[in-house]
Structure 1
Amino acid sequence: MLGWALTFFILAIIAALLGFGGIAGAAASIAKILFFVFLALLVITFVARALRGRSIT
């Protein structure tokens, strides 16, 4: 999921450089949403592993 967020972020940068503001904004929004979903899942995973008594690393 982090890979998809990075892909949309790079797409947004390229679109912005080429002057496609609408596409750049949409791609940046998608990248931001995917990044926050990734962070939420990461935190949930860490908490679940900690509650089970397993090491996080």
Structure 2
Amino acid sequence: MSHKITDECLACGSCLPECPVDAIAEGDDVYTIDAEKCSDCGACVDSCPTDAIKPA
């Protein structure tokens, strides 16, 4: 199972450096997670100040 970034994302970028497999990318309004790359490690979850990263 991968993670997804919800609309609560502020596009602050705090999750980006936490992803060990480079699955997170800057989207138009919010950041996105590539489900194919996501290893479900959860490293990004704790870095999100708005709890916008959830299991997919």
> Where on the TM-score scale, by shorter chain, does this alignment land: which range?
under 0.3
Q: TM-score, normalised by structure 1?
A: 0.27
> Larger Cα Rg: Structure 1 or Structure 2?
1
Q: Which structure dedicates a bigger proportion of its chain to strand?
A: 2
Q: TM-score, normalised by structure 2?
A: 0.28
Q: Which structure dedicates a bigger proportion of its chain to helix?
A: 1
